[in-house]
Amino acid sequence: MSSAPPVAGGTRPAIWPWLLAALLIVVADQFTKAVILANYRYADQTVVTSFFNIVRAHNTGAAFSFLADADGWQRWAFTGIGVAAAVFITWMLKSHAGQTLFSLSMTLILGGAIGNVIDRMMHGYVVDFLDFHWAGRHFPAFNLADSAITLGAVLLVLDELRRMRKPQP
């Protein structure tokens, strides 16, 4: 990846709009989790539709509860990974702020990662509450941070596919 081209006046595009967007994702994520924590006890649920519930779940592991049954070390390992990812993504945003789709994908991943790191630091687990199910099978519960990370990853793949299709100079 090459760095973002300078714009008029010889300056790079600003990173601040991307960081502000990531902050908005963190705020929305933490707000929704606070609502769940204030109104639901662990495992309480509200049926919304035939395929969707609001449920309070705690995930001490990573995606799909990976390592959730470990002895507690995973809290700090995943927190460290999240912090390292946030630093790396911020550096990538600074270097590539003018690449809109790439920066949007990084922003979504950054906001989601920070949202989940905050949970791990405050509670020792990530608060999940979106529960989709079909024919008696439940997809692992997730939250807005997880949604942002997933959407960011999809956009990152699309950005790379788009970049691969461009003729090389």
**Catalytically annotated residues:** 128, 146
DSSP, residue by residue, 11-61: -PPPSHHHHHHHHHHHHHHHHHHHHHHHH--TT-EEE-SSSEEEEEEEE-S
* Secondary structure of residue 156 in the 3-state scheme: helix
In the chain the first and final C-alpha atoms are separated, in Å, by 14
3-state helix, strand, coil in the chain (%, to 5): 55, 15, 30
Instruction: Tell me which H or E stretch contains 109.
Output: helix 100-123
What is the C-alpha R_g of the chain?
Answer: 18
Find where tokens 């990530």 sit: 126
